[in-house]
Structure 1
């Protein structure tokens, strides 16, 4: 990862670099189509620099998650066509930024981001803080005569339904029939963590097994050596929205320093957001404050 970041800095313009202590930039993601992202945009880069940005992204994702990310990028062209080309969306409107200096043993990080894609990696020596990881899709599904053509977030959707189907009806009756309009965590670092759902220990074995599958799906977006460890016995799950396919719905998995959210609540249930977050250590947590406490400036 450090080698790829250094390679990007060699071939990209100076604007790709932002100071690590710029917390307003570092502790924020923007998965919506809005301006103001730090760094440089891919369409302004030459082929070598653009390839370096993609290689850097690939260091943070397993092959299947990297394929999802690239499909999400390509969907910008599909969405632009569906909107009649009014908003000028395009698949090169993604930004890459390096926070600090990627030296061995140092504190630095990077982000690859654009509409419906945001991957943040922060490092403190040998410790990697690999969240947030946001993947969205609009459209969630493209079909031809009832057959699926492209569903980049199909596992996140289908495994979520699998957990719901295995939860006892007595538990599901207490869940809201209305889904939130978006994920609760949003773009900020200092969001209010929502209340937990039903504890995993209160679920039957079939539901717990499917919940384990769902959590593994999100954790395994990340390479094995940086994926966080999770206490599966301390997880909880909640569903909001209709409990039959076709309606706008949302689910959430929580545990110690873990938050997984999925919403499919826009465009008649064909527009999804998913995120893996660690509320206590996203964006490197309080790495910089701890550093300043050790070495006052």
Structure 2
């Protein structure tokens, strides 16, 4: 990962430095903090305050620089997904006038935080997060980790007003539904979890992916067509990130073996019915939940079992004589 992601690490350093250079002293104090493990491992996709600076308090020029930094964590296709998510938030406010507020680029209730020194040799990180978005990167030397990565949409499909029919993140739902519908009866008995779908992703905001249930239909029991749909679904999540990050995550999954990558589904099979699915393997967990608001409120997340928030890359860094941060 280190060699492949070195150009990305440099691009993130430049983007972070360009943004920080535009901030006044009060803004810099709000944005910057030490690379403290305790804070970095506290993340959320729910509404509410976060450490850092509200993007709504930036000037238009500063917000452009924040947008530049944000986009370093996404591939071109990921930026398209991001634009749909942000546009959904804008439409939601337009449909609820009491909540309306101008957002020429990023939603004003997103928060910016930079931990550590982008211009230094030690690990550092940045995060832009708010309702239904957690975009972040941990940079350890030339290695870059963008997981956990969370996107959501409320509503997933606009059902009224001039934007009726607009959808965010449709392929995440469509690919998984295609897969579950082409399973044979005996396969579906293994893949389907009895009872109602959970009301959210199971990993929530956990700082690490531990104890995730290893259940569902393994890839080893799928035919070629089913396996291709499973792999397309995994790529749909991983390839939101820049190519170097996505390729490294894909290679890790392949090296660990596809046979025990599992697919599980809970809830209804028809559009409009609340449902949940997960794809989990030795190196990753993908989760999708669409149960709220009559199956029209999406949460989806990519978790990296090894590298979430720096994970074992940080452990290796500190194991060779570097002092870990307090926390």
Give the structure-1-normalised TM-score.
0.91
- The residue number in structure 2 matching 1:9 is 20
- Once the two structures are TM-superposed, the CA of residue 105 in structure 1 deviates from its matched residue by 4.3
Tell me the distance in 1 between the aligned counterparts of 2:16 and 2:260.
36
Query: Which runs of 5 or more residues in structure 1 are unaligned?
Result: none
Q: Call closer, same or farther: CA 1:248–1:9 in 2, change over 3 Å.
A: same
Bigger strand fraction: 1
Per-residue CA deviation, residues 25-74 of structure 1 (Å, 9 max, x unaligned), is 21122111122x12211100011211111111111101221122122223
Q: Secondary structure at the match of 2:134?
A: strand
- The residue number in structure 1 matching 2:277 is 251
Of residues 204, 207, 212, the one that matches 1:194 is 212
- Once the two structures are TM-superposed, the CA of residue 241 in structure 1 deviates from its matched residue by 0.7
- Once the two structures are TM-superposed, the CA of residue 286 in structure 1 deviates from its matched residue by 4.7
Q: Call closer, same or farther: CA 1:81–1:216 in 2, change over 3 Å.
A: same
Tell me the distance in 1 between the aligned counterparts of 2:100 and 2:293.
17
Per-residue CA deviation, residues 115-145 of structure 1 (Å, 9 max, x unaligned), is 0010121011111112011110001011469
Note the 1:185-224 alignment, pairs <5 A. Answer: 185-196=203-214, 197-224=216-243
Tell me the distance in 1 between the aligned counterparts of 2:92 and 2:47.
12
- Would the aligned equivalents of 1:167 and 1:204 in 2 still touch at CA under 8 Å? no
- The residue number in structure 2 matching 1:261 is 287
Tell me the distance in 2 between the aligned counterparts of 1:199 and 1:89.
47
- Would the aligned equivalents of 1:18 and 1:38 in 2 still touch at CA under 8 Å? no
Tell me the distance in 2 between the aligned counterparts of 1:222 and 1:38.
24
Q: Secondary structure at the match of 2:306?
A: coil
1:69 aligns with 2:82: yes
Bigger helix fraction: 2
Q: Secondary structure at the match of 1:85?
A: helix
Q: Call closer, same or farther: CA 1:250–1:236 in 2, change over 3 Å.
A: same
Per-residue CA deviation, residues 190-211 of structure 1 (Å, 9 max, x unaligned), is 3543212211011122111100
How many residues matched?
294
Of residues 13, 36, 42, the one that matches 1:28 is 42
- Would the aligned equivalents of 1:201 and 1:233 in 2 still touch at CA under 8 Å? yes
Q: Bigger CA drift: 50-59 or 68-77?
A: 68-77
Tell me the distance in 2 between the aligned counterparts of 1:239 and 1:31.
23
Tell me the distance in 1 between the aligned counterparts of 2:311 and 2:127.
15
Note the 1:86-125 alignment, pairs <5 A. Answer: 91-103=107-119, 105-125=121-141
Q: Secondary structure at the match of 1:173?
A: helix
Q: Secondary structure at the match of 1:139?
A: coil
Note the 1:100-179 alignment, pairs <5 A. Answer: 100-103=116-119, 105-143=121-159, 149-174=165-190, 175=192, 176-179=194-197
Tell me the distance in 1 between the aligned counterparts of 2:102 and 2:38.
26
